[in-house]
Amino acid sequence: MTHNRPHENKTGRFFATLEDAEKAARAARLKSANPKMTYQEIADTVGYSHRGNAYRAIERCREAVIHEAGAELVASEAAQLDDLFAAALEVLERDHVTVSHGKIITMEDPETGEEKPLLDDGPKLAAIDRLLRVRESYRRLFGIDQPVKVDATVHEVTQQDLELQEMLREAKAAVRSEEAQIRDGGDA
C-alpha cells in the first residue's frame, strides 16, 4: 500500500516523527516567548510551509501539556487510592475483639473449654465497605463506569414524504428507461 504522505501509517493516519515533534516544540516555545508573533512568522522561522501548520503544531503542544498534566493528576489520585485501599485491607485482615464497658468480652471455646475473646465482625464489615468505596473511586477516576452515549435521531415520515419518494422512484425509472433507449439505438 502506497501512501501520499511520508508520515502515514498503514491505516492512513498521520503520525509525528521525532523531527516533527521537535519542530512543533520549537514553534510552541517561540509563541510562548513571543505572544505577539504571528503564526506566519513562526511558520517562516521554524520551517512550516503555511501558518496553519504552525497553528496546528502549537495546538498539539498545548493539548499534549494538558493531557500530560491530567495524566499526572490521575496518577497522583490513583496513588492516594492505593494507600487507602492498603490501609482498609490491613483492617480487614486483622482480628478484632468485642469490647464492652472497657472490657474484652470472652466466651468459652466449646472444643477446649478455654475462655477466648469474642471476635467482633463490625470492623471487618466496615473495612469491606471502605474497600468497595475505594474501588468505586477507582472506577470513576479511570472512567470505567461512564454511561454509554447513544446518538439517536427520530424522523417523522408523513404521507407527503411517502408520495414524494414514490414520485422520485418513478422519475428515476423513467430516466433509466430513456437512457436504455438511447444506448440501444434510439428506437425501441
Tell me the residue type at 132: L
**Could you read off the pLDDT of 117-173 as tens digits, one per residue?**
999 999 999 999 999 999 999 888 888 877 767 777 777 888 888 888 888 888 888
- Mean pLDDT, all residues of the chain: 86
More confident residue, 152 or 31: 31
Q: What is the model's pTM?
A: 0.52
- CA 39, CA 31: separation in Å to the nearest integer? 8
The cell 522561522 sits on which residue? 45
pLDDT at 1: 43
The cell 521554524 sits on which residue? 46
Tell me the residue type at 135: R
DSSP letters, 129-173, are HHHHHHHHHHHHHTTTTPPPP---------HHHHHHHHHHHHHHH
Domain boundaries, the chain: 18-141, 159-188
